[in-house]
Amino acid sequence: MIAPADLETCRAMIRTGSRSFHAASHLLPARVRDPALALYAFCRVADDEVDEGSDKAGAVLSLGERLDRIYRGQPRDHAPDRAFAAVVADFDMPRALPEALLEGLAWDALGRRYQTLSGVLDYSARVAASVGAMMCVLMRVREADALARACDLGLAMQLTNIARDVGEDARAGRLFLPLDWLAEEGIAVDAFLADPRPSPGLARVVARLLQVAEVHYRKAASGVSRLPLDCRAGIFAAGHIYGAIGHQVAAQGHDSVTTRARTSGRRKLALLGLAGVRAALSPVLMAPARLHARPALEVDFLVQAAAQHPRASRSETLIGVLAQLKAQDRNPA
């Protein structure tokens, strides 16, 4: 069980650091909401330490050590670590899932860019679809179709984030758009990063990314009927709130360089109401072809890990990327 003081710390972190999830979480039952707050708080801490710290490689390596301690049942004396350790123990959380998140953060620290959409989806699988799979575990759902659709929601939300944050990321020297799409539009990456400006070609790239996100949102909606009845509204709400961000980007002419799309509190309340209606209608709205569609290749390893729930050793891919970080840390450019 999560200690009440640790849970309150996690709740406060999410209230200010993950407002969209905080809004959607009000529609989840306490048995899922409380461990989800612990999960999101740990993910928030991990993301912030890599994004905002000056020593990104060191931050990821430290997170790897913290995850080791959590799975040994000896978490660091820090509320999110203690809370997540309780979640790991209570829900038999497959280790491959938080390891995938850590691998994605390591890719951030290495400054990876992605040549194709599949590469962007590989990254999104790690930093977002892994969280969708972990949310299923918190709902005690390990059915492959439900897990695949939860991963679709994670992919959709991350693609929306990327589309919204193009300017903010570029000003920080980061780029997550498919490089081949940019090349098709004649956009020179180095010149864009040196002086981020909106353009018709960039708007078309952002629009394409949001179209892909919309496909995954639709697939994800078909899986909600496989979740516990009292969890469905909360998951619909998360999808609606993030989807509305994408709609706002589109309303701004797909310019996410000079402005950052936001969803107002009033709009979020309306979306929460819509989520309740859709939850009630979810069995009727379910599209069997989408529900039973094969997982995207980029998330299949997450579906397999969560469905079979192994808690064994670290993945070879994670070991490899951490080795790259250690080498970079010892020999900085």
Query: Does the pLDDT value for residue 300 go beyond 80?
Result: yes
Q: What's the CATH fold of domain 94-330?
A: Farnesyl Diphosphate Synthase (1.10.600)
CA distance 60 to 244: 32
User: Shortest CA distance to 80 belongs to which of 119, 118, 49?
Assistant: 49
Q: Are 279 and 224 in contact (CB under 8 A)?
A: yes
Identify the weakest region by mean pLDDT among 1-5, 19-23, 45-49, 82-86: 19-23
- Measuring CA to CA, which residue among 283, 273, 272 is closest to residue 227? 283
Q: What's the pLDDT at 17? A: 65
Q: Is 300 exposed, middle or buried (0-12, 13-18, 19+ CB in 10 A)?
A: middle
User: Which of 24-33, 155-164, 189-198, 259-268 bottoms out in mean pLDDT, i.e. has the lowest?
Assistant: 259-268
Q: φ, ψ for residue 38 (rounded to 5)?
A: -65, -45
Task: Tell me what pLDDT residue 329 has.
Answer: 62
pLDDT in tens, 238-268: 888 888 899 999 999 999 999 887 766 666 6
What is the spatial distance between Cα 109 and Cα 265, in angstroms, rounded to a whole number?
Answer: 33
* Digit-coded pLDDT (tens) for 41-96: 998 888 888 877 677 888 888 888 999 999 999 999 999 999 999 999 999 999 99
- Rounded to whole angstroms, what are the CA distances from 37 to 26, 101, 186? 11, 16, 43
- The predicted pLDDT at position 84 comes to 96
CA atoms within 13 A on the CB side of 296: 27
Q: Mean pLDDT score of the chain, rounded to an integer?
A: 87
% pLDDT > 70, the chain: 86
The reported pLDDT for the residue numbered 273 is 66
SS3 160: helix
What DSSP letter does each residue of 225-282 carry, written as one string? GGS-GGGHHHHHHHHHHHHHHHHHHHHTTT--SS------HHHHHHHHHHHHHHHHHH
pLDDT at 322: 74
Alpha helices per DSSP H over the chain: 4-17, 19-25, 30-52, 56-71, 79-91, 96-110, 117-124, 130-138, 144-164, 166-171, 179-184, 189-194, 200-223, 232-251, 265-285, 288-291, 300-308, 316-330
Comparing 24 with 129, the larger pLDDT belongs to 129
Per-domain boundaries in the chain: 94-330
Largest pairwise CA distance in the chain: 58
- pLDDT confidence bin for 214, thresholds 50/70/90: very high
The pLDDT confidence band at residue 280, using thresholds 50, 70 and 90, is: low
Terminal C-alpha separation, the chain = 45
Tell me how far apart the alpha carbons of residues 91 and 39 are, in angstroms, rounded to a whole number. Answer: 12
DSSP code of residue 224: G
Ranked by mean pLDDT, which of 15-29, 181-195, 211-225, 285-299 comes out on top?
181-195
**pLDDT in the model for residue 209:** 98
